[in-house]
Amino acid sequence: MSEPKLMKGNEAIAEAAIQAGCRYFFGYPITPQNELPEYMARRLPEVGGVYLQAESEVSAINMVYGAAGAGGRVMTSSSSPGISLMQEGISYLAGAELPCVLVNIVRGGPGLGGIHAAQSDYFQATKGGGHGDYRLLVLAPGSVQETVDLLQEAFDLADKYRNPVMLLGDAVLGQMMEAVRLPRDLDEPLPPPPPPESKVWATTGAVNRSRNVINSLYIEPERLEKHNWHIQEKYRRMEAEEVRYEAVQVDDAGTVVVAYGTTARIARTAVDEARRQGLKAGLFRPISLYPFPYQALREAAGRARRVLVVEMSCGQMLDDVRLAVGERCPVEFYGRPGGNIPTPQEVLDRIAGKGGEAK
Amino acid sequence: MRHEVIMAGFGGQGMMLAGQLLAYAGMLEGKYVSWYPSYGPEMRGGTANCTVVVADEPVASPVVSRASAVIAMNRPSLERFEGTLAPGGVLVYNSTLIEQGPTRTDIKAVPVPANALADELGDKRVANMVVLGALLAVTGVAKPESVVASLRKTLPERRQNLIPLNEQALAKGAEAAQGAAAKA
Protein backbone atom coordinates (compact mmCIF):
# COMPACT_ATOMS: atom_id res chain seq x y z
CA MET A 1 0.00 0.00 0.00
CA SER A 2 1.21 3.50 -0.81
CA GLU A 3 1.27 6.43 1.59
CA PRO A 4 -2.01 8.36 1.42
CA LYS A 5 -2.00 10.73 -1.52
CA LEU A 6 -4.41 13.53 -2.30
CA MET A 7 -5.62 12.68 -5.80
CA LYS A 8 -8.39 13.65 -8.15
CA GLY A 9 -10.73 10.77 -8.93
CA ASN A 10 -9.83 10.88 -12.62
CA GLU A 11 -6.10 10.68 -11.91
CA ALA A 12 -6.53 7.96 -9.31
CA ILE A 13 -8.48 5.87 -11.82
CA ALA A 14 -5.66 6.20 -14.34
CA GLU A 15 -2.92 5.27 -11.88
CA ALA A 16 -4.92 2.40 -10.41
CA ALA A 17 -5.56 1.04 -13.91
CA ILE A 18 -1.85 1.09 -14.70
CA GLN A 19 -1.06 -0.62 -11.40
CA ALA A 20 -3.69 -3.22 -12.31
CA GLY A 21 -1.74 -4.01 -15.46
CA CYS A 22 -3.42 -1.75 -18.02
CA ARG A 23 -0.88 -0.95 -20.74
CA TYR A 24 -3.13 0.30 -23.55
CA PHE A 25 -5.39 3.33 -23.50
CA PHE A 26 -7.30 4.76 -26.44
CA GLY A 27 -9.64 7.69 -26.03
CA TYR A 28 -10.92 11.02 -27.14
CA PRO A 29 -11.17 14.13 -24.94
CA ILE A 30 -14.38 15.15 -23.21
CA THR A 31 -15.16 17.00 -19.98
CA PRO A 32 -15.39 16.00 -17.12
CA GLN A 33 -12.93 13.13 -17.50
CA ASN A 34 -10.01 14.81 -19.26
CA GLU A 35 -7.56 14.44 -16.37
CA LEU A 36 -7.78 10.68 -16.89
CA PRO A 37 -6.40 10.48 -20.45
CA GLU A 38 -4.04 13.35 -19.64
CA TYR A 39 -2.54 11.26 -16.85
CA MET A 40 -2.42 8.19 -19.09
CA ALA A 41 -0.64 10.16 -21.83
CA ARG A 42 2.10 11.09 -19.38
CA ARG A 43 2.38 7.88 -17.40
CA LEU A 44 1.78 5.01 -19.85
CA PRO A 45 4.96 5.58 -21.89
CA GLU A 46 6.96 5.44 -18.61
CA VAL A 47 5.78 1.87 -18.01
CA GLY A 48 6.17 0.67 -21.59
CA GLY A 49 2.51 1.15 -22.43
CA VAL A 50 0.73 2.77 -25.35
CA TYR A 51 -1.43 5.87 -25.15
CA LEU A 52 -3.17 7.01 -28.26
CA GLN A 53 -5.65 9.81 -28.75
CA ALA A 54 -7.92 8.61 -31.49
CA GLU A 55 -9.69 10.85 -33.98
CA SER A 56 -13.06 10.05 -32.42
CA GLU A 57 -14.73 7.85 -29.82
CA VAL A 58 -15.84 5.48 -32.58
CA SER A 59 -12.24 4.98 -33.53
CA ALA A 60 -11.06 4.70 -29.92
CA ILE A 61 -13.45 1.89 -29.04
CA ASN A 62 -12.39 -0.07 -32.12
CA MET A 63 -8.76 0.30 -31.05
CA VAL A 64 -9.84 -1.14 -27.70
CA TYR A 65 -11.35 -4.05 -29.63
CA GLY A 66 -8.07 -4.62 -31.43
CA ALA A 67 -5.89 -4.46 -28.33
CA ALA A 68 -8.27 -6.69 -26.37
CA GLY A 69 -8.31 -9.23 -29.19
CA ALA A 70 -4.52 -9.30 -29.12
CA GLY A 71 -4.62 -10.13 -25.41
CA GLY A 72 -3.68 -6.73 -23.96
CA ARG A 73 -5.04 -5.17 -20.80
CA VAL A 74 -6.87 -2.22 -22.31
CA MET A 75 -9.09 0.58 -21.19
CA THR A 76 -10.90 3.62 -22.49
CA SER A 77 -12.68 6.40 -20.70
CA SER A 78 -15.17 8.99 -21.77
CA SER A 79 -18.26 10.82 -20.62
CA SER A 80 -21.87 10.35 -21.62
CA PRO A 81 -22.05 11.64 -25.23
CA GLY A 82 -18.71 9.96 -25.97
CA ILE A 83 -19.91 6.67 -24.49
CA SER A 84 -23.00 6.90 -26.71
CA LEU A 85 -20.72 7.13 -29.74
CA MET A 86 -18.92 3.99 -28.57
CA GLN A 87 -22.04 1.84 -28.27
CA GLU A 88 -21.63 -0.01 -31.56
CA GLY A 89 -18.10 -0.99 -30.62
CA ILE A 90 -19.15 -2.00 -27.11
CA SER A 91 -21.79 -4.32 -28.54
CA TYR A 92 -19.09 -5.86 -30.78
CA LEU A 93 -16.77 -6.29 -27.78
CA ALA A 94 -19.52 -8.11 -25.89
CA GLY A 95 -20.39 -10.18 -28.96
CA ALA A 96 -16.77 -11.15 -29.59
CA GLU A 97 -16.29 -11.79 -25.85
CA LEU A 98 -13.42 -9.37 -25.43
CA PRO A 99 -12.30 -8.19 -22.00
CA CYS A 100 -11.73 -4.50 -21.41
CA VAL A 101 -12.53 -1.79 -18.90
CA LEU A 102 -14.71 1.16 -19.88
CA VAL A 103 -14.94 4.21 -17.65
CA ASN A 104 -17.93 6.53 -17.94
CA ILE A 105 -17.64 9.73 -15.91
CA VAL A 106 -21.26 10.63 -16.40
CA ARG A 107 -22.46 14.15 -17.20
CA GLY A 108 -25.94 15.53 -17.76
CA GLY A 109 -27.88 14.69 -20.90
CA PRO A 110 -29.66 14.00 -23.17
CA GLY A 111 -27.78 15.16 -26.24
CA LEU A 112 -24.73 17.26 -25.57
CA GLY A 113 -26.38 18.08 -22.24
CA GLY A 114 -23.99 19.73 -19.82
CA ILE A 115 -20.70 19.03 -18.12
CA HIS A 116 -21.85 18.60 -14.54
CA ALA A 117 -22.45 15.44 -12.58
CA ALA A 118 -25.38 13.18 -13.44
CA GLN A 119 -26.47 9.56 -13.19
CA SER A 120 -28.67 9.54 -16.25
CA ASP A 121 -26.70 6.83 -18.10
CA TYR A 122 -27.88 4.04 -15.79
CA PHE A 123 -30.19 2.49 -18.38
CA GLN A 124 -27.51 2.65 -21.06
CA ALA A 125 -24.89 1.11 -18.79
CA THR A 126 -26.94 -1.66 -17.20
CA LYS A 127 -29.41 -2.72 -19.88
CA GLY A 128 -26.99 -3.26 -22.73
CA GLY A 129 -26.62 0.14 -24.37
CA GLY A 130 -25.86 -1.03 -27.87
CA HIS A 131 -27.73 -3.51 -30.05
CA GLY A 132 -28.21 -7.17 -29.25
CA ASP A 133 -28.73 -9.24 -26.11
CA TYR A 134 -25.76 -8.40 -23.96
CA ARG A 135 -24.79 -6.89 -20.64
CA LEU A 136 -21.82 -5.10 -19.24
CA LEU A 137 -20.66 -5.88 -15.75
CA VAL A 138 -21.21 -2.44 -14.17
CA LEU A 139 -19.47 -1.26 -11.01
CA ALA A 140 -20.37 2.02 -9.31
CA PRO A 141 -17.81 3.19 -6.74
CA GLY A 142 -18.74 5.74 -4.11
CA SER A 143 -15.35 7.23 -3.30
CA VAL A 144 -11.97 7.78 -4.88
CA GLN A 145 -10.55 4.98 -2.71
CA GLU A 146 -13.27 2.55 -3.72
CA THR A 147 -12.67 3.46 -7.36
CA VAL A 148 -9.05 2.49 -6.97
CA ASP A 149 -9.96 -0.73 -5.15
CA LEU A 150 -12.52 -1.72 -7.79
CA LEU A 151 -10.22 -1.17 -10.76
CA GLN A 152 -8.03 -4.20 -10.10
CA GLU A 153 -11.22 -6.23 -9.78
CA ALA A 154 -12.67 -4.68 -12.92
CA PHE A 155 -9.75 -5.90 -15.04
CA ASP A 156 -9.78 -9.32 -13.40
CA LEU A 157 -13.53 -9.69 -13.87
CA ALA A 158 -13.25 -8.63 -17.51
CA ASP A 159 -10.72 -11.43 -18.07
CA LYS A 160 -12.67 -13.94 -15.99
CA TYR A 161 -15.87 -13.47 -17.99
CA ARG A 162 -14.33 -12.30 -21.26
CA ASN A 163 -16.73 -9.40 -21.15
CA PRO A 164 -16.41 -5.60 -21.01
CA VAL A 165 -16.64 -4.16 -17.51
CA MET A 166 -17.88 -0.62 -17.05
CA LEU A 167 -16.90 1.61 -14.18
CA LEU A 168 -19.80 4.03 -13.83
CA GLY A 169 -18.71 7.21 -12.09
CA ASP A 170 -19.93 10.76 -12.29
CA ALA A 171 -18.38 14.20 -12.54
CA VAL A 172 -18.15 14.62 -8.76
CA LEU A 173 -16.17 11.41 -8.42
CA GLY A 174 -13.94 12.38 -11.34
CA GLN A 175 -13.24 15.94 -10.20
CA MET A 176 -13.09 15.44 -6.45
CA MET A 177 -9.82 15.02 -4.57
CA GLU A 178 -9.62 12.64 -1.66
CA ALA A 179 -6.88 10.91 0.24
CA VAL A 180 -6.21 7.59 -1.42
CA ARG A 181 -3.92 4.64 -0.87
CA LEU A 182 -2.80 2.94 -4.07
CA PRO A 183 -1.56 -0.64 -4.11
CA ARG A 184 1.96 0.70 -4.74
CA ASP A 185 3.87 3.95 -4.42
CA LEU A 186 4.36 5.80 -7.69
CA ASP A 187 8.09 5.16 -7.82
CA GLU A 188 7.80 1.45 -7.02
CA PRO A 189 8.44 -0.90 -9.94
CA LEU A 190 5.30 -2.53 -11.31
CA PRO A 191 4.92 -6.27 -11.86
CA PRO A 192 4.53 -7.10 -15.54
CA PRO A 193 0.94 -7.34 -16.79
CA PRO A 194 -0.38 -10.81 -17.65
CA PRO A 195 1.28 -11.85 -20.94
CA PRO A 196 -1.08 -11.89 -23.95
CA GLU A 197 -0.29 -15.58 -24.47
CA SER A 198 -1.90 -16.33 -21.10
CA LYS A 199 -5.19 -15.66 -22.86
CA VAL A 200 -5.41 -18.82 -24.94
CA TRP A 201 -8.19 -17.43 -27.13
CA ALA A 202 -6.29 -14.23 -28.08
CA THR A 203 -4.81 -13.58 -31.51
CA THR A 204 -1.17 -13.58 -30.47
CA GLY A 205 0.28 -15.25 -33.56
CA ALA A 206 -0.65 -18.86 -34.44
CA VAL A 207 2.71 -20.53 -33.85
CA ASN A 208 2.49 -24.22 -32.89
CA ARG A 209 -1.24 -23.93 -32.32
CA SER A 210 -4.40 -23.66 -34.37
CA ARG A 211 -5.70 -20.28 -35.48
CA ASN A 212 -7.77 -18.17 -33.07
CA VAL A 213 -10.62 -16.13 -34.50
CA ILE A 214 -12.10 -13.02 -32.85
CA ASN A 215 -15.51 -12.42 -34.30
CA SER A 216 -19.07 -11.43 -33.54
CA LEU A 217 -20.59 -12.42 -36.89
CA TYR A 218 -22.64 -15.64 -36.90
CA ILE A 219 -24.65 -15.60 -40.09
CA GLU A 220 -26.48 -18.88 -39.43
CA PRO A 221 -29.37 -18.40 -36.99
CA GLU A 222 -28.68 -21.71 -35.22
CA ARG A 223 -25.08 -20.79 -34.50
CA LEU A 224 -26.00 -17.24 -33.44
CA GLU A 225 -28.66 -18.60 -31.11
CA LYS A 226 -26.13 -20.95 -29.58
CA HIS A 227 -23.67 -18.09 -29.18
CA ASN A 228 -26.37 -15.98 -27.52
CA TRP A 229 -27.19 -18.71 -25.00
CA HIS A 230 -23.50 -19.09 -24.32
CA ILE A 231 -23.03 -15.44 -23.42
CA GLN A 232 -26.30 -15.44 -21.46
CA GLU A 233 -24.90 -18.24 -19.36
CA LYS A 234 -22.05 -15.88 -18.38
CA TYR A 235 -24.56 -13.25 -17.27
CA ARG A 236 -26.36 -15.82 -15.10
CA ARG A 237 -23.00 -16.66 -13.51
CA MET A 238 -22.32 -12.95 -12.89
CA GLU A 239 -25.76 -12.66 -11.30
CA ALA A 240 -24.92 -15.57 -8.99
CA GLU A 241 -21.34 -14.58 -8.14
CA GLU A 242 -20.68 -10.88 -8.65
CA VAL A 243 -23.37 -9.02 -6.71
CA ARG A 244 -21.89 -6.26 -4.57
CA TYR A 245 -23.61 -3.82 -2.25
CA GLU A 246 -23.30 -2.04 1.06
CA ALA A 247 -26.12 -1.89 3.61
CA VAL A 248 -25.91 0.63 6.43
CA GLN A 249 -28.38 0.46 9.32
CA VAL A 250 -31.14 -1.11 7.24
CA ASP A 251 -32.15 -3.82 9.74
CA ASP A 252 -34.41 -1.62 11.86
CA ALA A 253 -34.95 1.12 9.28
CA GLY A 254 -38.43 2.42 8.58
CA THR A 255 -37.10 4.26 5.53
CA VAL A 256 -34.48 2.55 3.41
CA VAL A 257 -32.76 5.04 1.10
CA VAL A 258 -31.36 3.44 -2.06
CA ALA A 259 -28.63 5.34 -3.87
CA TYR A 260 -25.33 4.63 -5.62
CA GLY A 261 -22.09 6.50 -6.29
CA THR A 262 -21.87 10.13 -5.24
CA THR A 263 -25.56 10.25 -4.43
CA ALA A 264 -25.07 7.48 -1.88
CA ARG A 265 -22.49 9.63 -0.11
CA ILE A 266 -24.94 12.49 0.10
CA ALA A 267 -27.67 10.10 1.23
CA ARG A 268 -25.32 8.73 3.89
CA THR A 269 -24.95 12.18 5.44
CA ALA A 270 -28.74 12.56 5.36
CA VAL A 271 -29.30 9.12 6.92
CA ASP A 272 -26.81 9.81 9.72
CA GLU A 273 -28.49 13.14 10.44
CA ALA A 274 -31.94 11.48 10.37
CA ARG A 275 -30.74 8.98 12.99
CA ARG A 276 -29.51 11.85 15.16
CA GLN A 277 -33.00 13.33 14.91
CA GLY A 278 -34.56 10.03 15.95
CA LEU A 279 -35.75 8.98 12.47
CA LYS A 280 -35.01 5.34 11.69
CA ALA A 281 -33.38 5.55 8.28
CA GLY A 282 -30.91 3.25 6.56
CA LEU A 283 -28.91 3.26 3.35
CA PHE A 284 -28.75 0.52 0.75
CA ARG A 285 -25.98 1.20 -1.76
CA PRO A 286 -25.69 -1.04 -4.83
CA ILE A 287 -22.03 -1.28 -5.89
CA SER A 288 -22.62 -3.66 -8.79
CA LEU A 289 -25.40 -2.10 -10.86
CA TYR A 290 -25.34 -5.09 -13.17
CA PRO A 291 -25.75 -7.58 -11.63
CA PHE A 292 -28.17 -5.61 -9.47
CA PRO A 293 -28.53 -6.75 -5.83
CA TYR A 294 -32.23 -7.62 -6.16
CA GLN A 295 -32.31 -10.28 -3.45
CA ALA A 296 -30.53 -8.28 -0.74
CA LEU A 297 -32.65 -5.22 -1.43
CA ARG A 298 -35.82 -7.34 -1.41
CA GLU A 299 -34.95 -8.56 2.06
CA ALA A 300 -34.11 -5.06 3.32
CA ALA A 301 -37.37 -3.70 1.88
CA GLY A 302 -39.36 -6.52 3.48
CA ARG A 303 -38.59 -5.07 6.88
CA ALA A 304 -39.06 -1.39 5.93
CA ARG A 305 -42.08 0.90 5.88
CA ARG A 306 -40.95 2.60 2.69
CA VAL A 307 -38.07 2.80 0.23
CA LEU A 308 -36.73 6.12 -1.03
CA VAL A 309 -34.66 6.09 -4.22
CA VAL A 310 -32.37 9.09 -4.77
CA GLU A 311 -30.63 9.63 -8.09
CA MET A 312 -29.08 12.40 -10.15
CA SER A 313 -31.57 11.53 -12.88
CA CYS A 314 -35.31 11.49 -13.46
CA GLY A 315 -35.49 7.92 -12.16
CA GLN A 316 -33.58 5.07 -13.83
CA MET A 317 -32.28 2.76 -11.10
CA LEU A 318 -35.78 3.31 -9.74
CA ASP A 319 -37.01 0.62 -12.17
CA ASP A 320 -34.64 -1.99 -10.73
CA VAL A 321 -35.55 -1.00 -7.19
CA ARG A 322 -39.24 -1.45 -8.04
CA LEU A 323 -38.47 -4.89 -9.50
CA ALA A 324 -36.68 -5.81 -6.28
CA VAL A 325 -39.23 -4.39 -3.85
CA GLY A 326 -42.41 -5.37 -5.66
CA GLU A 327 -45.44 -4.87 -3.41
CA ARG A 328 -43.51 -5.17 -0.16
CA CYS A 329 -43.65 -1.44 0.56
CA PRO A 330 -44.12 1.85 -1.30
CA VAL A 331 -41.18 3.07 -3.41
CA GLU A 332 -40.71 6.84 -3.50
CA PHE A 333 -38.29 8.82 -5.61
CA TYR A 334 -36.27 11.99 -5.36
CA GLY A 335 -34.14 13.01 -8.31
CA ARG A 336 -32.16 15.99 -9.58
CA PRO A 337 -31.29 15.72 -13.28
CA GLY A 338 -29.29 18.01 -15.52
CA GLY A 339 -26.08 18.32 -13.54
CA ASN A 340 -27.60 19.31 -10.20
CA ILE A 341 -26.50 17.56 -7.07
CA PRO A 342 -29.05 16.84 -4.37
CA THR A 343 -27.96 18.28 -1.03
CA PRO A 344 -27.98 16.26 2.20
CA GLN A 345 -30.73 18.60 3.45
CA GLU A 346 -32.96 17.84 0.45
CA VAL A 347 -32.60 14.11 1.05
CA LEU A 348 -33.18 14.54 4.78
CA ASP A 349 -36.41 16.45 4.04
CA ARG A 350 -37.64 13.49 1.95
CA ILE A 351 -36.69 11.01 4.66
CA ALA A 352 -38.71 13.14 7.10
CA GLY A 353 -41.63 13.08 4.67
CA LYS A 354 -41.34 16.74 3.78
CA GLY A 355 -41.14 18.30 0.37
CA GLY A 356 -43.26 15.84 -1.62
CA GLU A 357 -42.26 12.68 -3.39
CA ALA A 358 -40.23 14.04 -6.26
CA LYS A 359 -38.64 17.28 -7.20
CA MET B 1 -14.84 17.70 14.39
CA ARG B 2 -16.11 18.47 10.92
CA HIS B 3 -15.20 21.61 8.97
CA GLU B 4 -16.99 22.37 5.74
CA VAL B 5 -15.29 25.24 3.98
CA ILE B 6 -16.25 26.97 0.74
CA MET B 7 -13.48 29.04 -0.86
CA ALA B 8 -14.42 31.35 -3.71
CA GLY B 9 -12.97 34.11 -5.83
CA PHE B 10 -12.12 35.21 -9.35
CA GLY B 11 -10.35 32.61 -11.42
CA GLY B 12 -6.65 33.37 -10.91
CA GLN B 13 -6.98 34.44 -7.25
CA GLY B 14 -5.74 31.03 -6.16
CA MET B 15 -8.75 29.72 -4.29
CA MET B 16 -8.60 26.25 -5.89
CA LEU B 17 -4.96 25.88 -4.92
CA ALA B 18 -5.55 27.21 -1.40
CA GLY B 19 -8.35 24.66 -1.04
CA GLN B 20 -6.10 21.83 -2.19
CA LEU B 21 -3.44 22.89 0.31
CA LEU B 22 -6.03 22.94 3.09
CA ALA B 23 -7.19 19.42 2.17
CA TYR B 24 -3.61 18.23 1.94
CA ALA B 25 -2.80 19.75 5.35
CA GLY B 26 -5.83 18.02 6.87
CA MET B 27 -4.70 14.71 5.36
CA LEU B 28 -1.21 15.16 6.82
CA GLU B 29 -2.82 15.65 10.22
CA GLY B 30 -4.57 12.30 9.84
CA LYS B 31 -8.02 13.72 9.13
CA TYR B 32 -10.49 12.59 6.48
CA VAL B 33 -10.64 15.14 3.69
CA SER B 34 -12.32 15.93 0.41
CA TRP B 35 -11.82 18.75 -2.10
CA TYR B 36 -14.51 19.37 -4.68
CA PRO B 37 -14.09 22.09 -7.30
CA SER B 38 -16.48 24.06 -9.38
CA TYR B 39 -15.23 23.45 -12.88
CA GLY B 40 -16.09 23.93 -16.51
CA PRO B 41 -16.42 27.26 -18.22
CA GLU B 42 -14.45 29.04 -15.47
CA MET B 43 -11.55 31.12 -16.64
CA ARG B 44 -9.36 33.95 -15.47
CA GLY B 45 -11.76 36.69 -14.40
CA GLY B 46 -14.71 34.30 -14.00
CA THR B 47 -15.63 32.94 -10.60
CA ALA B 48 -14.20 29.72 -9.24
CA ASN B 49 -14.88 27.96 -6.00
CA CYS B 50 -14.16 24.76 -4.17
CA THR B 51 -15.55 22.95 -1.16
CA VAL B 52 -13.16 21.41 1.33
CA VAL B 53 -14.29 19.05 4.07
CA VAL B 54 -11.90 18.16 6.90
CA ALA B 55 -13.31 15.78 9.49
CA ASP B 56 -12.50 13.20 12.14
CA GLU B 57 -14.99 10.79 10.56
CA PRO B 58 -14.98 9.60 6.94
CA VAL B 59 -16.44 12.30 4.71
CA ALA B 60 -19.84 11.14 3.54
CA SER B 61 -21.10 13.98 1.37
CA PRO B 62 -18.41 16.05 -0.37
CA VAL B 63 -21.27 18.39 -1.25
CA VAL B 64 -22.23 20.78 1.50
CA SER B 65 -25.66 22.19 2.39
CA ARG B 66 -24.42 24.44 5.20
CA ALA B 67 -20.82 25.65 5.28
CA SER B 68 -19.02 26.13 8.58
CA ALA B 69 -16.71 28.67 6.95
CA VAL B 70 -16.52 30.68 3.72
CA ILE B 71 -13.64 32.56 2.17
CA ALA B 72 -14.78 35.22 -0.29
CA MET B 73 -12.07 36.87 -2.33
CA ASN B 74 -14.41 39.17 -4.26
CA ARG B 75 -17.87 40.72 -4.11
CA PRO B 76 -19.71 38.15 -6.30
CA SER B 77 -18.36 35.33 -4.13
CA LEU B 78 -19.55 37.04 -0.97
CA GLU B 79 -23.01 37.56 -2.44
CA ARG B 80 -23.23 33.97 -3.64
CA PHE B 81 -22.02 32.17 -0.53
CA GLU B 82 -22.97 34.36 2.43
CA GLY B 83 -26.31 32.59 2.56
CA THR B 84 -24.81 29.09 2.70
CA LEU B 85 -23.03 29.76 6.01
CA ALA B 86 -24.43 28.01 9.04
CA PRO B 87 -25.40 30.34 11.87
CA GLY B 88 -22.24 31.12 13.83
CA GLY B 89 -20.11 30.26 10.79
CA VAL B 90 -16.95 32.12 9.85
CA LEU B 91 -16.76 34.45 6.87
CA VAL B 92 -13.26 35.52 5.88
CA TYR B 93 -13.52 38.15 3.17
CA ASN B 94 -11.01 40.11 1.18
CA SER B 95 -11.63 43.67 2.36
CA THR B 96 -9.26 45.10 -0.24
CA LEU B 97 -11.79 44.28 -2.95
CA ILE B 98 -15.00 44.07 -0.90
CA GLU B 99 -15.83 47.42 0.60
CA GLN B 100 -19.22 46.52 1.97
CA GLY B 101 -19.19 43.53 4.32
CA PRO B 102 -21.89 40.89 4.81
CA THR B 103 -25.47 41.73 5.69
CA ARG B 104 -25.95 38.78 8.08
CA THR B 105 -25.37 39.41 11.75
CA ASP B 106 -25.49 35.78 12.96
CA ILE B 107 -22.09 34.94 11.53
CA LYS B 108 -18.54 35.81 12.45
CA ALA B 109 -17.22 38.21 9.81
CA VAL B 110 -13.46 38.51 9.48
CA PRO B 111 -12.35 41.27 7.06
CA VAL B 112 -8.80 40.72 5.81
CA PRO B 113 -7.20 43.17 3.35
CA ALA B 114 -5.65 40.28 1.47
CA ASN B 115 -4.37 42.12 -1.61
CA ALA B 116 -2.94 44.99 0.43
CA LEU B 117 -1.14 42.58 2.77
CA ALA B 118 0.18 40.54 -0.15
CA ASP B 119 1.47 43.77 -1.70
CA GLU B 120 3.27 44.54 1.55
CA LEU B 121 5.04 41.20 1.18
CA GLY B 122 5.98 42.18 -2.32
CA ASP B 123 4.01 39.53 -4.21
CA LYS B 124 0.36 39.90 -5.18
CA ARG B 125 0.07 36.16 -5.76
CA VAL B 126 0.14 35.25 -2.06
CA ALA B 127 -3.20 36.94 -1.30
CA ASN B 128 -4.70 33.43 -1.25
CA MET B 129 -2.27 32.37 1.45
CA VAL B 130 -3.11 35.47 3.47
CA VAL B 131 -6.81 34.56 3.64
CA LEU B 132 -5.96 30.91 4.25
CA GLY B 133 -3.80 31.99 7.20
CA ALA B 134 -6.72 34.02 8.51
CA LEU B 135 -9.09 31.07 8.15
CA LEU B 136 -6.73 28.74 10.01
CA ALA B 137 -6.30 31.26 12.83
CA VAL B 138 -10.04 31.70 13.34
CA THR B 139 -11.28 28.13 12.75
CA GLY B 140 -8.34 25.84 13.53
CA VAL B 141 -9.22 23.59 10.55
CA ALA B 142 -5.52 22.75 10.27
CA LYS B 143 -2.20 24.03 11.56
CA PRO B 144 -0.25 26.51 9.42
CA GLU B 145 2.75 24.18 9.78
CA SER B 146 0.76 21.47 8.01
CA VAL B 147 0.04 23.82 5.10
CA VAL B 148 3.75 24.57 4.88
CA ALA B 149 4.50 20.83 4.98
CA SER B 150 2.00 20.38 2.12
CA LEU B 151 3.85 23.00 0.10
CA ARG B 152 7.12 21.17 0.73
CA LYS B 153 5.57 17.96 -0.54
CA THR B 154 3.81 19.38 -3.58
CA LEU B 155 6.01 22.18 -4.91
CA PRO B 156 8.62 21.18 -7.49
CA GLU B 157 12.28 21.61 -6.48
CA ARG B 158 12.70 24.89 -8.36
CA ARG B 159 9.76 26.46 -6.51
CA GLN B 160 10.73 25.44 -2.99
CA ASN B 161 12.36 28.86 -2.57
CA LEU B 162 8.86 30.38 -2.40
CA ILE B 163 8.02 28.60 0.85
CA PRO B 164 9.26 31.31 3.26
CA LEU B 165 7.16 33.90 1.42
CA ASN B 166 4.09 31.69 1.72
CA GLU B 167 4.82 31.14 5.40
CA GLN B 168 4.95 34.91 5.93
CA ALA B 169 1.66 35.31 4.08
CA LEU B 170 -0.02 32.71 6.30
CA ALA B 171 1.30 34.51 9.39
CA LYS B 172 0.20 37.91 8.13
CA GLY B 173 -3.30 36.59 7.50
CA ALA B 174 -3.46 35.10 10.97
CA GLU B 175 -2.34 38.40 12.48
CA ALA B 176 -4.95 40.35 10.51
CA ALA B 177 -7.68 37.92 11.56
CA GLN B 178 -6.74 38.23 15.21
CA GLY B 179 -6.75 42.02 14.85
CA ALA B 180 -10.19 41.92 13.23
CA ALA B 181 -11.47 39.61 15.96
CA ALA B 182 -10.16 41.97 18.65
CA LYS B 183 -12.00 44.89 17.03
CA ALA B 184 -15.27 42.99 16.71
Tell me the CATH number at B39.
3.40.920.10
For an interface test with B, which of A36, A178, A350 has the most B Cβ atoms less than 10 Å from its Cβ?
A178
Q: Which domains are present in chain A? A: 5-202+231-237 (3.40.50.970), 246-351 (3.40.50.920)
Give, in degrees to the nearest 5, the angle at Cα B47 between B41 and B50: 90
Binary contact (B35, A265; C-beta < 8 A)? no
pLDDT at residue number B40? 61
CA distance B113 to A145: 39
- For residue B39, the chain A residues in CB contact (below 8 A) are 31-32, 115, 171, 175
Q: Which domain holds residue B147?
A: 2-183
pLDDT at residue number A358? 43
Cβ atoms of residues A256 and A220 within 8 Å: no
Q: Nearest CB to B39: which of A32, A265, A266?
A: A32
Beta strands (DSSP E) in A79-157 are: 100-106, 137-139
Q: How far is B182 from chain A (nearest CA, A)?
A: 35
**What is the DSSP annotation of A61-99?**
HHHHHHHHHTT--EEEEE-HHHHHHTHHHHHHHHHTT--
Quote ipTM for the complex: 0.92
Three-class secondary structure of residue A35 per DSSP? helix
Q: How far is B144 from chain A (nearest CA, A)?
A: 18
Q: Tell me A182's DSSP state.
A: -
CA distance B22 to B146: 9
Upper half-sphere CA count for residue A5 (Cβ side, 13 Å): 18
Mean pLDDT, rounded, for B98-105: 94
Q: How far is B117 from chain A (nearest CA, A)?
A: 30
Number of domains in chain B: 1
**What is the DSSP annotation of A272-335?**
HHHHHTT--EEEEEESEEES--HHHHHHHHHT-SEEEEEESSSSSHHHHHHHHHTTSS-EEEEE
Cβ atoms of residues A76 and A60 within 8 Å: yes
pLDDT at residue number B45? 67
Q: Nearest CB to B65: which of A32, A179, A344?
A: A344
Query: Which pLDDT tens digit goes with each residue over B110-158?
Result: 999 999 999 999 999 999 999 999 999 999 999 999 999 999 999 999 9
Query: Which pLDDT tens digit goes with each residue over B38-89?
Result: 866 656 667 889 999 999 999 989 988 899 999 999 999 999 999 999 999 9
CA distance B111 to A36: 39
For an interface test with A, which of B61, B64, B147 has the most A Cβ atoms less than 10 Å from its Cβ?
B61
pLDDT at B15 over 80: yes
Cβ atoms of residues A299 and A325 within 8 Å: no
Mutual angle of helices A57-69 and A87-95, in 10-degree steps = 20
Query: Which pLDDT tens digit goes with each residue over A287-299?
Result: 999 999 999 999 9
- For residue A32, the chain B residues in CB contact (below 8 A) are 39-40
pLDDT at residue number B127? 98
Q: How far is A352 from chain B (nearest CA, A)?
A: 17
Give chain A's contact residues with B (Cβ, < 8 Å): 4, 6, 31-32, 115-116, 171-172, 175-179, 262, 265-266, 268-270, 272, 341, 343-346
pLDDT at B23 over 90: yes
pLDDT at residue number B102? 95
Binary contact (A179, B65; C-beta < 8 A)? no
Regions of chain A short of the pLDDT cut 50:
357-359
Chain center to CA of B75: 15
